[in-house]
């Protein structure tokens, strides 16, 4: 690390800031290389080291700590999420240059957990007299920053272990946050070794540091052994399975207004593409559940209620297609649709019609049995943050048309969807639905597990056409896999034209290897038998309650150090010690 600083040793101040830039870039680069599209799992262990080093080196300057955090966020956003430029361009309906400027201006603030961690860990380095082990402080502060700092969308540092099959299994115990704890504990161990080495060279080694370093390896060894045990366990061998088929039509992206061209494209999907996929599926296998991704049939609803007919959203061809799929295969069908409800404006209480990003389930008879409405909406893409405030300030007309009002409204509560399982004696079984980035929100999924009804598996509907990036699709797919381990449930990931997939409760792909997946943006069928586990994980029951243990450990170390100093101070006043 010091080598990077020494490159500019002739100019100390320049060298110092150059070192901050270099280490921020290195940390973001290591995180990027351990994630999609590279997936170099061992680098996930090293990704926190540069930012931990930055926090320690510049602990006496809050300004430099904040700068290091903002630079780390900037470099990670630029290196890992360049597809956000195209997303901004599409949502805001602006030019590429304008979208790029917006992205670069906001990139330092998209990953504020970097700033939070570097600042608080740097401050904690000022209080070494508290004698809290480096690895424990580092891991605890990082996990708190990871879980509770606002972010553009839900991803955790621990998600970088998605390609480490052994360590990933640990998520069953404490979620992705526990993986973050293990990751930063390792970084803290490395920093602790550096500190112990320096103290040994100065003939004043700290017994507390040495003992803590020895104990720190125990949870790392346990994590490896636990992962090996879970991967070799036989619990999936005799479990019941649900036969699932995903129909991926690659429908065109919705436009703000339906025109004649859009209607022709929808007719192509409803009357030709999806029926052709259904005929192909019928010749291969029987199924229990058929799933269509988000916006597989855009703009419309299969609900013929008055509100949908009045506003032109009901599509008889869509309803006939879904009914034919259900009755023809004697299977449940889960498909995305646009729904409407009546609500009230918050400022004057007037009645308004609220569009919803929803998904409906049809039973094998073709009857509608459950409607899920997306709760966790995407900022700017699906709702406009502060929309009412903008209206009151009179700034509404200055915004691009796509950002003047919210496209959708949230559902308000987490629900489960019942489906028919032919092999089960139960009259109905349940799965946990989610739309788009909701699969990344493990807290939202955990709410669904708090009910009385057992959950068989997870279903995620998404439309990656909005991002127009295979990189985003691969990252979204990769992050989704962590949920399967956290809750030990299989995952059905149905996309409109992205990367549809099935995963078992160990995050292993079902039906085909990663290299055999359908091409991005093309019509396809994905099918397979997903295992149904009944046991509930520790994380599903307790969430991140385990985090109180390291917090308590830090407090105990601090209190013990304070009591020790107080005792020595009393002895010195009495003249019993020099």
Backbone angles phi, psi at 389, to 5 degrees: -65, -40
3-class SS at 510? coil
Largest separation between any pair of C-alpha atoms in the chain: 95
Contact (Cβ atoms closer than 8 angstroms) between residue 467 and residue 477: no
Q: What pLDDT is attached to residue 388? A: 64
The residues of the chain scoring below 50 in pLDDT are 7-10, 513-514
> CB neighbours of 141 closer than 8 A, spacing ≥ 6?
117, 120, 121, 124
Q: How far apart, in Å, do the first and last CA atoms of the chain sit?
A: 40
Q: What pLDDT is attached to residue 271? A: 92
> Which domains are present in the chain?
2-233+544-572 (no CATH), 241-375+410-541 (3.60.110.10), 383-409 (no CATH)
Q: What pLDDT is attached to residue 393? A: 64
| 68 burial via Cβ count (<10 Å: 0-12, 13-18, 19+) | buried
Structure tokens at 416: 């489960």
Structure tokens at 402: 């796509």
Q: Are β-strands 332-344 and 429-435 bridged in parallel, bridged antiparallel, or unpaired?
A: unpaired
φ/ψ bin of 300: left (φ > 0), alpha (ψ from -120 to 50), beta (otherwise): beta
Question: Of 571, 559, 549, whose CA–CA distance to 131 is shortest?
Answer: 559
Residue 470: CB atoms within 10 Å: 17
Per-residue CA distances from 220 to 48, 142, 178, 186 (Å):
16, 17, 12, 8
Q: What pLDDT is attached to residue 534? A: 86
Query: Hunting for tokens 């990077």 — which residue is that?
Result: 4
Cα 261 to Cα 205: distance, rounded to the nearest angstrom: 75
The pTM (predicted TM-score) of the whole model is: 0.88
Q: What pLDDT is attached to residue 117? A: 96
Q: What pLDDT is attached to residue 8? A: 45
Structure tokens at 427: 């009259």
């Amino acid at each position: 690390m010091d080598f990077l600083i020494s490159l500019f040793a002739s100019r100390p101040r320049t060298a110092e800031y150059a070192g901050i830039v270099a280490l921020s870039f290195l940390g973001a680069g290591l995180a990027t290389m351990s994630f999609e599209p590279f997936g170099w799992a061992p680098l996930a262990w090293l990704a926190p080291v540069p930012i931990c080093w930055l926090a320690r080196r510049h602990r006496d300057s809050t300004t430099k700590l904040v700068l290091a955090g903002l630079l780390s966020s900037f470099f990670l956003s630029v290196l890992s999420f360049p597809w956000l430029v195209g997303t901004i361009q599409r949502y805001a309906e602006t030019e590429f240059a304008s979208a790029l400027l917006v992205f670069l201006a906001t990139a330092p603030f998209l990953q504020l957990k970097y700033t939070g961690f570097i600042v608080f860990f740097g401050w904690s380095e000022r209080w070494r007299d508290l004698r809290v082990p480096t690895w424990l402080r580092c891991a605890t502060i990082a996990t708190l920053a990871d879980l509770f700092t606002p972010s553009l969308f839900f991803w955790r540092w621990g998600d970088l272990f998605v390609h480490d099959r052994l360590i990933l299994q640990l998520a069953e115990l404490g979620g992705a946050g526990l993986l973050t704890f293990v990751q930063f504990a390792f970084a803290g161990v490395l920093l602790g070794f550096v500190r112990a080495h320096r103290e040994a060279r100065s003939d004043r080694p700290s017994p507390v540091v040495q003992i803590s370093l020895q104990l720190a390896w125990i949870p790392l060894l346990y994590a490896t052994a636990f992962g090996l045990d879970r991967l070799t366990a036989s619990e999936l061998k005799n479990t019941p399975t649900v036969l699932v088929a995903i129909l991926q039509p690659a429908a065109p992206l919705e436009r703000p207004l339906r025109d004649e061209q859009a209607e022709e494209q929808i007719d192509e999907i409803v009357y030709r593409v999806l029926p052709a996929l259904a005929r192909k599926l019928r010749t291969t296998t029987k199924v229990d559940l058929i799933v269509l991704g988000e916006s597989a049939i855009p703009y419309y609803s299969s609900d013929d209620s008055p509100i949908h007919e009045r506003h032109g959203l009901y599509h008889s061809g869509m309803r006939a297609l879904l009914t034919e799929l259900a009755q023809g295969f004697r299977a449940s069908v889960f498909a995305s649709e646009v729904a409407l409800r009546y609500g009230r404006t918050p400022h004057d209480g007037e009645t308004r019609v609220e569009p919803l990003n929803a998904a409906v389930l049809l039973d094998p008879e073709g009857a509608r049995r459950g409607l899920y409405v997306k709760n966790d909406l995407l900022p700017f893409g699906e709702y406009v943050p502060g929309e009412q405030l903008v209206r009151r300030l009179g700034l509404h007309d200055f915004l691009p048309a796509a950002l003047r009002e919210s496209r959708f409204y949230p559902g308000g509560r987490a629900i489960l969807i019942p489906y028919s399982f032919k092999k089960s004696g139960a009259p109905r079984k349940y799965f946990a639905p989610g739309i788009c980035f909701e699969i990344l929100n493990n807290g939202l999924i955990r709410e669904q597990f708090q009910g009385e009804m057992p959950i068989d598996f997870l279903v995620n509907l998404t439309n990656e056409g909005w991002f127009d990036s295979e990189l985003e699709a691969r990252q979204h797919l990769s992050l989704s896999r962590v949920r399967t381990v956290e809750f030990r449930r299989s995952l059905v990931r149905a996309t409109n034209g992205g990367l549809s997939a099935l995963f078992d409760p160990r995050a292993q792909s079902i039906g085909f290897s990663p290299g055999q997946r359908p091409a991005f943006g093309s019509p396809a069928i994905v099918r397979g038998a997903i295992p149904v586990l009944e046991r509930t994980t520790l994380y599903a029951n307790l969430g991140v309650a385990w985090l109180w243990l390291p917090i308590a450990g830090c407090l105990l170390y601090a209190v013990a150090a304070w009591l020790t100093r107080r005792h020595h101070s009393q002895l010195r006043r009495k003249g019993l010690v020099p």
